[in-house]
Amino acid sequence: MLVNIPTTLIAGSLGAGKTSVLRYWLANKPADERWAVLINEFGQIGLDAALLEGSGQGAKLAEVAGGCVCCVNGAPLTVTLSRLLRQAKPQRLFIETSGLGHPAALAAQLAAPPWQGVLALQPVCVVLDAERLQRNEPLSEQLEDCLASAAPLLINKSELLSTAERQAVQARFANAQLISHGQTPCPAVLSAAQAGNPLLPSAGAPLGEVWLDPSQPIVAIQQREEGWSIGWRWHPSQRFNLSALSDWLQGQRYLRAKGIVQTVEGAAACNLTPGQAIDWQPSPWRRDSRLELIFSQPQDAPALSQSLRQCCASQA
């Protein structure tokens, strides 16, 4: 029987480094513990689970794509989380929320039936982007609501700040930890009395799995109040030219871009925010190729797909 599973929500703005933090935790997971990870993405392609592939042994991953789970039909969350808990029987659960999500609303859902008594909510982990803070970019109202109770509050990419800038950020967020590349110890499990529940107030259909034409991608487009996204999934036989794809990405004005693509040398992954240099990393993912972009405004989807097609080098 699954009872009182310590559950940590990981919240933060787009591109702040939530997945990097989670990857580090998974890589350093105690060998004798069973973990489960549920990832909620704004877009419908589903990339974060693929980006975490191979990060840690003894951890089972699942994802709910298509927007913030607290804003869409609750069925995808209920079905996916139930399946994940049943299969993994975890000793700890981590939920990475969408960068455009509402952590407090999600916490309220997880504290109510059918999860009440099954999940034991821990303090939310909030990840912020040091560079954006230095530029005084505003935080969303949803994140602002989490800051006072965040434990830990992580300010990632701190290596990009000068000494004076680091001091200014620390003065603004007295309870924050400045980290680099998402590297920080996983927080210890707190008892119910220690954890409290400070966030609590006093879902899209899955993407098709079958390619009718292996040379053509499956395309998913979503328009929500928070932004517009487009994602592509290609058959694993398709191979990409990384140089051409990098040039194509540099020409787009996205809020966020992430992908895993198959090349003749193997799979390569990237996770980008505006202005960030493109650094492709090797990945063990072999099931397909995926790319997803989030924009502030709707784009010309056919034109994007047509120009992106030029980056596909060949079939295996």
Is the link from the previous residue into 152 a cis peptide, with omega within 30 of 0? yes
User: Which pTM value belongs to this model?
Assistant: 0.64
292: tokens are: 């997803």
pLDDT at 202: 36
- Per DSSP, the three-state class of 210 is coil
| CATH class of the region 5-195 | alpha beta
Q: What is the pLDDT of residue 242?
A: 94
pLDDT at 247: 95
Measured N-to-C along each axis, helices 301-309 and 242-250 cross at an angle, to the nearest 10 degrees, of: 150
8-state DSSP, 116: B
Phi and psi at residue 6, to the nearest 5°:
-55, 125
User: What letter does residue 67 receive in the DSSP assignment?
Assistant: S
Low-confidence ranges of the chain (pLDDT < 50): 43, 45, 71-73, 198, 200-209
Q: Residue 121 pairs with which residues in a beta bridge? A: 7
What pLDDT shows up at residue 40? 81
- Taking every pair of C-alpha atoms in the chain, what is the biggest distance, in angstroms? 58
pLDDT tens, position by position, 165-179: 998 888 888 778 999
For residue 97, what pLDDT is reported?
Answer: 87
| DSSP β-ladder status, 176-178 and 227-234 | unpaired
**Model pLDDT, residue 117:** 86
Q: What residue ranges of the chain are covered by domains with CATH 3.40.50.300?
A: 5-195
Q: CA 300, 96, 85, 286: dihedral to nearest 10 degrees?
A: 50
Pair 65, 43: CB distance under 8 Å: yes
CA-based torsion, 301, 302, 308, 312: positive or negative: positive
Q: What is the pLDDT of residues 25-48, one digit of tens each?
A: 999 999 899 999 998 865 454 555
Dist CA 292 CA 220 (whole Å): 9
The number of C-alpha atoms within 13 Å of 37 and in the hemisphere containing its C-beta is: 26
For 158, phi and psi rounded to 5 degrees?
Answer: -65, -20
- The C-alpha angle with vertex 223 and arms to 68 and 18, in degrees rounded to 5, equals 35
- CA–CA separation, 133 and 130 (whole Å): 5
